Structure 1
Amino acid sequence: MTSSTRSTGTAHAGRASSAWATGGTIFAGVLLLMEGILNILSGIAAIAEDDVYTRVGDYVFKFNLTTWGWIHLILGIVVAVTGWGILRGAAWARGLGVGVAALVVVLQFMWLPYQPVWAVVSIAIGLFVIWALCTDQGRRSQDGTSAH
């Protein structure tokens, strides 16, 4: 195998890997936008009616549901705006996306006694978002340097 064949194969593998990472980043933006909207709705439900959610068993992290509602509402707005920013290609949104996804993972762990299945699903989504945003190398400019 000649060096030009090897470099072409490496370039092709790099493009394929970059396509996966870019697709993952777009999907992460969509997931953050949807997670934010669902957190907003969950927060509104918890603020409006304290009897919407029931606690499953006893748990160390106890807040009343109105407090959880406000946490979900505010975090949902931040997460949705961050997801929109990622979809628009804003440079600030990638770093903030990793931060808010990590915060969502921690808060969903604390939310486990109220919605166990959704909390576990949301934790998995948050971990995927962190992976996708950390593995994307960003858009490349004409000379091969990073555009960010």
Structure 2
Amino acid sequence: MSEQTAGERPESRARPAGRTGAAPAPEAGAWTGWVRFGAVVMVVVGVFGVIEGLAAIVSPTYFVTDTGTVLVLSWATWGWIHLVIGALVAIVGAGLLGEAASWARGAAIAIVGLSAIVHLIMIPVAPVWSIVVIALDLVILYALVTTWDEPLGARR
């Protein structure tokens, strides 16, 4: 009969005492894939934010309100705000994709929250687009917050 007994998996056998190996990787939980999903959505939302910002900078009359302003800022100013926040969302989302540096999750939560607030202000100007982005931001926040206790490097 072989060295393996019936019903015993090869992974569960004890290693010989003289062998040393790398520490086993932490177990990946069921929610760990949400971080990667949130990162991909962040990159997409960030790129769209950059495009939205560039559209407002290049063509300030593309989005027109009754007074030509949103709150007290001109469209060019809002364009720069969207451009910067969109770039930050995309960069931090890309930072979450690889081995997810520890700073990336906290920064992502802060920046995505800021993005949601900015789009909340933009609802009178672009209601459908703002609501879509806010919904995506909430999905990203859910993906990042529900997996907070999961080890970031534990992926299958």
Cα-to-partner distance string for 1:73-98 (whole Å, 9 max, x where unaligned) = 11111110010011121211100111
Q: Distance in 1 between matches of 2:71 and 2:117?
A: 11
Secondary structure of the residue aligned to 2:142 is helix
Q: Give the deviation of 1:25 after TM superposition.
A: 1.2
The match for 1:106 is: 117
Please provide the CA RMSD for this pair: 2.6
**More helix as a share of residues:** 1
Among candidates 90, 97, 113, match of residue 80 of structure 1: 90
Q: Give the deviation of 1:42 after TM superposition.
A: 0.6
- Say whether residues 1:48 and 2:52 are aligned partners: no
Return 5+ residue gaps in structure 1 as ranges.
1-14
Return 5+ residue gaps in structure 2 as ranges.
1-26
Cα-to-partner distance string for 1:3-61 (whole Å, 9 max, x where unaligned) = xxxxxxxxxxxx89x32x21221111011101110010110110011111123799973
Q: Distance in 1 between matches of 2:56 and 2:141?
A: 27
Mark the CA change 1:53 to 1:59 in structure 2 (over 3 Å): closer, same or farther. Answer: closer
- Spell out structure 1 runs of 4+ moving beyond 6 A: 56-60
The match for 1:118 is: 129
Mark the CA change 1:74 to 1:58 in structure 2 (over 3 Å): closer, same or farther. Answer: closer
The match for 2:142 is: 131
In 2, are the aligned partners of 1:59 and 1:113 still within 8 Å (CA)? Answer: no
The structure with more radius of gyration: 2
Mark the CA change 1:52 to 1:124 in structure 2 (over 3 Å): closer, same or farther. Answer: same
In 1, are the aligned partners of 2:70 and 2:122 still within 8 Å (CA)? Answer: no
* 68-77 or 131-140, which deviates more: 131-140
May I ask how many residue pairs the two structures share in their alignment?
126
Identical counterparts, % of pairs? 33
Identify which of structures 1 and 2 has the higher relative contact order when contacts are C-alpha pairs closer than 8 Å and 6+ apart: 2
Q: If the length of structure 1 is used for normalisation, what is the TM-score?
A: 0.76
Among candidates 67, 76, 87, match of residue 66 of structure 1: 76
